[in-house]
Structure formats: C-alpha cells, structure tokens
Amino acid sequence: MSGPERVVWLASYPKCGNTWVRFMLFSYLHGPPRASLDVARKIPDLHRPLPVDQPEPGRAMLAKTHLMLTDRHPRLAQTERAIHVIRNPRDVALSALHYRRLGGAGRLDEAGYLRAFIRAGGDPDWQAQGFGTWAGHARSWRGTDRFPVLAVRYEDLKTNPLAELGRMAAFLGEPMDDARAAEAVRASSFESMRALEIREKHQGAKGGADKRLFVGDAKATRRGDYFINKGASGQSLDAVAKGLDDAFDRAFGADLAELGYGS
C-alpha cells in the first residue's frame, strides 16, 4: 500500500472473518469476483503485499489489518474510519488450529496448542507479530477515539448477513441497493468462496500461491482441508481434549462478558 489516499481499515484478530467481510464488501462495491486476486487487489492485505488497484475517485481505500491499534500502526494519518470484526475466541482457537494444519504443521499437538492459546489469551505467535491477545486487540480498536469504528460480530454476519452488509455500507457512506446486496451475500457465501478456492487450487502452476488469496494447495483440498473452512460457531474445545472448555471459561470469562459474549 502506498500513496496519500484515505484508508478504511477492516480490522480483526486473525480467524475472525476478515476474508469473508472482504469478499462481501468487494462483491457489493464491484460485483462478484472472478478470482480471489480481484479481492486482494481492491481490498489489500497489510500483511501480504500484492499489486493494488487504487480506489475510485471519492472512495477511501479499504484494507485489511490484524495489527492492534497503536501509535505505530501504518497509515494512521490517512485513516478515516475502521470496521472491527470480532468472533467468539473459542471458535477462533479452533479455526486457528485448522489453519495450522492447513499450513503443513505436521504432527501438531492439538491439545497443547489450545492450552497455549488459552494461557496466552490468544495465539502466542500472533502476539509476537503485533496482533496482541484476542481481548487486547478488540479493546485497542473499539476503545479508540481517533476515528469512528463500526463493531461487527461474526455471529451476526452468519445470522443476518444482509442486515450486517447494510450496516457496513451505511458506515462507508454507500447507498443501499437491495438487489445488489442480495447478490453480494450470495457471492460471498461459504459455498461460493469454497468453490472458488477449489477451482483456483486445481489450476496448477497458473493458480500458484502468488495468484490467489487462499492459503493451502490442491493436496490439502483433496484431503478435505480448506482455507474456507466450516465457519462454525458455538463449538466445543472438549472435542479435542476433556477439560479444555472449563480452562477456556476460566481464562476468558471476564473478557467474554466485557466484549459481548456473556451468557
């Protein structure tokens, strides 16, 4: 990303639905993508430099970030506003576990990984990259007075994607078009995104990692591992090892209540 254009961040802790929101907003603003790289060019990822298309006149650049909001965050002077996407950290932990398998983590100690996630308040590697803990990341964005922030819950996106897309469009100053919104929701459904992922990963060399947004390869899809995974909510950590749900509740209870996930 370069240049003086205004920026609207799509901010989230990893595995909270940022890719989903990027596809949804791209589809609403530009029509259904023909390739995942279309989305990456129009709504770039701060953490994965790729060629970028400049926004249309009058529009801010939408961009993805997983960083906590601090004085060191890039492009603060150009930041106009942000959409912050949050997801229940129990589901984040399981999605992160799947992501590590997808990336070829080998014989991963799944229960050990989840215990480390619980102890640290998030993935320790992500903390080292500047993403913070799950709760710390959310507080940094949602508590700022630097610019307006729209809070979006992953679970609400699942329950009523049309309504959440309408909220995001209004926040961005975009007029609402019901037919276009319905098509954007269809184009960004898990079924549509996974079909695109499978197609691109089976295109051979022309569909290499530098030509698509999705992590993983055709070998992973053949064994049933996809970047666009189940998108599940309300999962149990005890499915991996007994006692993990209780440990999670003890560690995350106060943060869950504070950030809208209380019982």
| Domain edges within the chain | 7-258
| Two tokens, residue 50 | 């790729």
pLDDT, one tens digit per residue, over 75-93 is 999 999 999 999 999 999 9
pLDDT, one tens digit per residue, over 16-27 is 999 999 999 999
Lowest mean pLDDT among 199-203, 241-245, 247-251: 199-203
pLDDT score recorded for residue 218: 47
Q: How confident is the model at residue 114 (pLDDT cuts 50, 70, 90)?
A: very high
Other beta carbons less than 10 A from residue 221's beta carbon: 19
Q: How confident is the model at residue 228 (pLDDT cuts 50, 70, 90)?
A: low
Count of all residues that appear for the chain in the document: 263
Would the pLDDT of 205 be above 50? Answer: no
Residue 169: C-alpha distances to residues 21, 46, 144, 149, 254 (Å): 11, 22, 21, 13, 32
pLDDT score recorded for residue 98: 83
**Which of 10-14, 194-198, 209-213 has the largest mean confidence?**
10-14
| Two tokens, residue 123 | 């993935």
Kindly state the DSSP code that residue 40 receives in the 8-state scheme: H
pLDDT score recorded for residue 207: 44
Q: Which long-range contacts (CB under 8 A, 24 or more apart) does 152-155 make?
A: 152/21, 152/83, 152/84, 152/85, 152/86, 153/85, 153/86, 153/87, 153/260, 154/16, 154/17, 154/85, 154/86, 154/87, 154/88, 154/91, 154/233, 155/87, 155/88, 155/233
Residue 201: C-alpha distances to residues 21, 41, 110, 261 (Å): 21, 19, 26, 36
pLDDT score recorded for residue 151: 97
Task: Tell which residue, 253, 9, 31, has the closest CA to residue 152.
Answer: 9
pLDDT score recorded for residue 108: 78
Which of the two residues, 241 and 214, has the higher pLDDT score? 241
Q: How confident is the model at residue 206 (pLDDT cuts 50, 70, 90)?
A: very low
Q: Give the type of residue at 210.
A: D
Specify which residues 100 forms β-bridges with: none
Specify which residues 84 forms β-bridges with: 11, 151
| Two tokens, residue 70 | 């601090």
pLDDT score recorded for residue 128: 96
Would the pLDDT of 4 be above 60? Answer: no
Q: Are 33 and 85 in contact (CB under 8 A)?
A: no
| Arithmetic mean of pLDDT, 145-155 | 97
Q: How confident is the model at residue 55 (pLDDT cuts 50, 70, 90)?
A: confident
Residue in the block written with tokens 């913070």: 132
pLDDT score recorded for residue 107: 72
Would the pLDDT of 105 be above 80? Answer: no
Helices (H), 213-258: 218-222, 244-258
Mean pLDDT computed over every residue of the chain: 87
Euclidean distance between CA atoms 231 and 206, whole angstroms: 28
Q: What is the pTM of this model?
A: 0.88
Quote the strand ranges of 5-132, DSSP E.
Answer: 7-12, 61-65, 79-86
Fold of 7-258: Rossmann fold (3.40.50)
Kindly state the DSSP code that residue 149 receives in the 8-state scheme: E
Kindly state the DSSP code that residue 131 receives in the 8-state scheme: -
Other beta carbons less than 10 A from residue 25's beta carbon: 24
